[in-house]
Amino acid sequence: MVARRPRIAIVARFAESTSATRYEAIVTARRLAEGVWAAGAEPLTFLAVPGSDWTERLNGIDGVLMPGGADVDPRNYGQDPISDELYGMDMMQDEVDMSLIRHVLLVGLPMLAICRGLQITNVALGGTLTQHMESPHLRHVASVTVDSHAVELGLTDPTLEASCYHHQAIDKLAEGLTVIARAAEGHVEAVKIDSAGWAFGVQWHPEDNYDTERGQLEIFERFISAAS
């Protein structure tokens, strides 16, 4: 009997339109889903629904991936929007993300948070964000060294090439997050998240180069191993 692949829930992001739909769409980045599949799991896109009973909805789910996406509304961390660079904000998406994150960390489901996923985790736990970085990391690739917990993150080499696409970053770090890597400019690139289960967040996009940079696939594989 072949063992089933661990099932990984990925919260869908909203799109105003796509080439394959006539109307608004919910989307998961193809590269992200392929990275999860390449690591041995089944990626499942979950609709963001306010007031979700996560115990019921996550029945049969082995891990949760909080993906990248649009900006977090600053009002979630007690600030007014002040940057003209903010885009795609959706308070309902934020509320669903934060509700799911708090549930997952409470019950100990394995969780990997990527880019916006890391940022909304920080906000959900009481932290704040820089609304717009002085030097945005858009289409930015640089070496990042994980200073601690590299083995727990799955890395055989703590230094890897990180592909970034973000213009926001963690400002005030939330309680429950431990910084394990920083960019050359000093902002947070990776964290260990306090949880009853395996939980980490990275500011970069491991899906971008998982098939050419071994360390990125190792992160997915370690996440999937925890979910198994």
Nearest-angstrom CA–CA distance, 51 and 73: 19
Whether 205 is a known active-site residue: answer: yes
115 in active site? yes
Helices (H) and strands (E) in the chain, counts: 6, 13
164 catalytic residue (yes or no): no
Tell me the one-letter amino acid at 61: I
Question: Which of the following is catalytic: 164, 205, 218, 221?
Answer: 205
- For CA atoms 190, 155, 65, 178, give the dihedral sign: negative
Q: How far is CA 164 from CA 10, 90, 138, 206, in A?
A: 19, 22, 6, 9
DSSP conformation class of 185:
T
Residues 206, 219: contact at Cβ < 8 Å? yes
Give the active site residue among 115, 137, 189, 218: 115
Distance between CA atoms of 41 and 27, rounded to whole angstroms? 18
Among candidate residues 137, 166, 187, 207, the one labeled active-site is: 207
What one-letter code names the amino acid at 57? R
Query: Is residue 110 a contact partner of residue 61, using CB atoms and an 8 Å limit?
Result: no
Give the integer Cα–Cα distance in Å for 187 and 172: 11
Question: Would you please indicate which residues are annotated as catalytic (active-site) residues?
Answer: 115, 205, 207
